[in-house]
């Protein structure tokens, strides 16, 4: 009769699999080839959001649209290549870049020191800020007022870290996988407050006037940057040139007016 493998055998095989995994993942160190690859393939793969209107969302026709989507199309057009859009969430957009599943990440990506350790950034291309939103009946004037309340945030998003910085002890922070989860939890009353980007909140308030929602606390002003894999300077500088040109020609301002309803303003470079 066939004997089931012993515990020891299972462990040994698993350990072996773990030991071999790095070897399978080993790749020759790639030296700044992203731009050349893109031009050779005539296609650029760009990670975009589909859960943060008006930057990236899908309409009833399921086609991604929004500021980030048009930005991706603009960059591809200026490079003279086709664009392939891949939808990502806040939590997985950096890994997409690290694992080269995307050449660029244009996904309401803010710049912070932790992220700068693992990926590189171009200059900023659009304005953004994050804040805490909540019902009008709840008094939240200072971070201390958050004590004893539940705040929903999107795991791995800027709000997650910023709330952690200002939150006094006793704040119950609930983390969700993507913006939809965070907003749904707020809409369902599962959390009292939500820390999200202004655009997400604005979009939510416009569509759900029956849910009492207002601005409570500013978390951070953080313009959006385009993420590039670490060390891909050739691609990064090329995209920087495209952004600068689009700024000068007024194309970026047009995008901001179209999707955000306000001019581009001063962006850090």
Partner 1 sequence: MIAFDFAAVLADWPLLARGVGATLALTAVSASVGVALGVGCAWARLHGTPWLKAVVGAYVELIRNTPFIVQLFFLFFGLPGIGVRLTPEWASVLAMVVNLGAYAAEIVRAGIKTTPRGQIEAARSLALTELQVFTRVVLPPALKRVWPALVSQIVIVMLGSAVCGQISTPELSYAANLIQSRNFRAFESFIVATAVYLALAIALRRLLNWAGPRFVFGR
Residues that bind partner 1 (CB under 8 A): 7, 10-11, 14, 18, 21-22, 25-27, 29, 90-91, 94-95, 98, 114-115, 117-118, 152, 155-156, 160-161, 174-177, 181, 184-185, 188-190
Comparing CB distances to partner 1, the nearer of 155 and 254 is 155
Strands 64-65 and 82-88: unpaired
Comparing CB distances to partner 1, the nearer of 93 and 238 is 93
Min CB(81)–partner 1 separation in Å: 28
CB nearer to partner 1: pick between 155 and 247 = 155
Alpha-carbon torsion 69, 73, 78, 79, what sign? positive
| Cβ nearer to partner 1, comparing 18 with 80 | 18
How far, in Å, CA of 99 to CA of 110, rounded?
Answer: 19
Query: How many beta carbons lie within 10 A of that of residue 212, not counting itself?
Result: 12
Question: If you ran DSSP here, which 8-state letter would residue 5 be given?
Answer: P
**How far apart are the C-alpha atoms of 248 and 20, rounded to whole Å?**
51
Residue 161 or 253 with smaller CB distance to partner 1: 161
Q: Please state the closest distance from residue 225 (CB atom) to partner 1, in A.
A: 16
As measured in angstroms, the least distance from the Cβ of 78 to partner 1 is 29
- Residue identified by tokens 């731009």 is 35
- Shortest Cβ 246–partner 1 spacing (Å): 29
Phi, psi (degrees; rounded to nearest 5) at 219: -95, -50
Residue 227 CB, nearest approach to partner 1 (Å):
11
- How far, in Å, CA of 39 to CA of 240, rounded? 17
């Amino acid at each position: 009769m066939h004997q089931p493998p012993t515990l020891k055998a299972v462990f040994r095989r698993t350990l072996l699999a773990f030991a071999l995994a790095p070897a399978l993942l080993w790749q020759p160190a790639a030296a700044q080839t992203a731009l050349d690859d893109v031009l050779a393939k005539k296609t650029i793969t760009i990670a975009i959001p589909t859960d943060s209107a008006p930057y990236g969302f899908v309409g009833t026709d399921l086609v991604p649209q929004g500021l980030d989507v048009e930005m991706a199309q603009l960059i591809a057009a200026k490079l003279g290549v086709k664009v392939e859009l891949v939808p990502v969430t806040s939590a997985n957009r950096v890994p997409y870049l690290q694992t080269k599943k995307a050449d660029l990440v244009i996904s309401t990506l803010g710049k912070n020191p932790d992220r700068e350790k693992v990926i590189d950034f171009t200059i900023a291309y659009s304005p953004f800020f994050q804040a805490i939103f909540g019902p009008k009946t709840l008094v939240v004037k200072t971070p201390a007022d958050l004590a004893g309340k539940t705040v929903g945030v999107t795991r791995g998003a800027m709000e997650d870290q910023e709330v952690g910085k200002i939150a006094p002890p006793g704040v119950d922070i609930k983390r969700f996988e993507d913006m939809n989860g965070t907003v749904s939890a707020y809409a369902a009353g599962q959390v009292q407050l939500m820390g999200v980007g202004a655009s997400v909140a604005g979009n939510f308030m416009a569509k759900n006037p029956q849910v009492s929602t207002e601005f409570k606390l500013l978390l951070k002003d953080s313009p959006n940057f385009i993420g590039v894999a670490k060390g891909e300077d050739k691609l990064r500088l090329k995209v920087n040139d495209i952004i600068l040109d689009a700024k000068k020609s007024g194309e970026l301002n047009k995008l901001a007016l179209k999707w955000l309803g306000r001019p581009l303003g001063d962006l850090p470079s």
